[in-house]
A and B are shown apart, each in its own frame.
Chain A
């Protein structure tokens, strides 16, 4: 999948006589589906800017149309899967009389003391989020109107989901305290920036700089655009005064919609999907991800890992 484009690095002053200025824009499956025309007469800065904006909008529209066309097929596949693998209603997590927490019929559990630790930890996380991290993220968002935060209502992980995570990690990482486990969960507070397709990588770079300029400390960044299960760039950060971690994801509109579309499959695999069903769910995610167009320059965007502790 690819596209001949005017501006590989999003530079606003690209020459007019670009040999790629006119051409078909392929869909994610590589089929030519639209023509983006170039006006050779555009010779003022204003005209160039207008052309640039129109070009990007045209490309975005073509990709979005291809994605929208594919959506009913994916939704039908999802329904067919549900029919073939009926999913029993998941029992809601419960807190017993002794204060212990139980989930998934007892597969995951927290003792009374640990349940109380997570409650206190979650409260502290929300407080730091409200007082320091969210105001910072909102001020960074306000610096550029070409992209915005999406899914803001999910900025705090739900209490029971946080407890699920803690319970699984306490089991899989014996010897850890609840505080250590909580500290290691970066997405207890999370944000997602969504960018136009054509200016994605430039936008991500600028926002990384803005986050650092604000004083947040980047801990890790991972580019999974070449993965067949998940398209995006995820990063984790620390708020310096509290040392609280949080997660920032970077998506295009389509990669974000793909993430949302496959979220139920992800939840199903995560909880307890058995082998044949799991294979089918992963294949579903592969199919969806294959329809997500790669933004220009994204494959070369580097990962980052800060050496925080001696690991």
Chain B
């Protein structure tokens, strides 16, 4: 089956739905699923944040968003990290 990707905005005490702390994607396929965040290294890489939330962790909220919104957060991170360099 084709991969099914759901994007989430990561929202915590220091961020908001309008300006999330980060972005996570859950990729589902025949063999299961994996989670990745787009990080300060400007790559998508394994993340345990959503799974920790499912185990009761209270640090973050995960708001499903569209691929376009996710891309917007990715661009914001690129700009932010680029500006730091």
Tell me the A residues contacting B by CB distance below 8 Å. 107, 168-176, 180, 183-187, 220, 222, 224, 227, 229-230, 232, 234-236, 247, 249, 266, 269-272, 274-279, 282, 308-311
Contacts and interface: CB of A to CB of B under 8 A. Distances in A.
Nearest to B38: A172
Interface in B13-54: 13-17, 21-22, 24, 29, 31-34, 37, 39-41, 45-49, 51-52, 54
B77 A311 contact: no
A278 B34 contact: yes
Nearest to A227: B54
Given A186-B58, A270-B52, A172 B11 contact: no
A173 B58 contact: no
Contacts of B41: 171
A311 B10 CA distance: 12
Contacts of A274: 34
A276 B32 CA distance: 6
25 contacts: A168-B49, A169-B49, A170-B40, A171-B39, A173-B12, A173-B22, A174-B40, A174-B81, A175-B80, A176-B21, A185-B59, A222-B56, A222-B58, A229-B54, A234-B57, A236-B58, A249-B56, A266-B55, A269-B48, A270-B48, A275-B29, A276-B31, A278-B34, A282-B32, A311-B17
A184 B13 contact: yes
A14 to B, nearest CB: 32
B22 to A, nearest CB: 5
Contacts of B15: 173, 311
Given A172-B21, A227-B54, A230-B54, 17 more contacts: A107-B46, A168-B49, A171-B41, A172-B47, A172-B49, A174-B39, A174-B81, A184-B14, A187-B57, A229-B55, A230-B55, A230-B56, A272-B46, A275-B34, A278-B34, A279-B31, A308-B13
A124 B47 CA distance: 27
Contacts of A187: 57-58
Contacts of A282: 32
B56 to A, nearest CB: 4
A176 B14 contact: yes
B17 to A, nearest CB: 8
Contact of A184 (B29, B39, B59, B80): B59
A277 B59 CA distance: 26
Contacts of B49: 168-169, 172
Contacts of A227: 54, 56
Contact of B14 (A180, A220, A229, A249): A180
B63 to A, nearest CB: 11
A187 B55 CA distance: 13
Contacts of A249: 56
A270 B21 CA distance: 20
Nearest to A170: B40
A107 B46 CA distance: 9
A67 B7 CA distance: 37
Given A229-B54, A279-B33, A173 B11 contact: no
Contacts of A224: 56
**A184, A249, A276, A277 — most chain B CB neighbours (10 Å):** A184
**B11, B24, B49, B84 — most chain A CB neighbours (10 Å):** B49
Leading 5 A-B pairs by shortest Cβ distance? A279-B32, A275-B32, A270-B48, A171-B39, A172-B37
B11 A168 contact: no
A180 B21 CA distance: 12
Interface string B54-68: 111111000000000
A4 B77 CA distance: 54
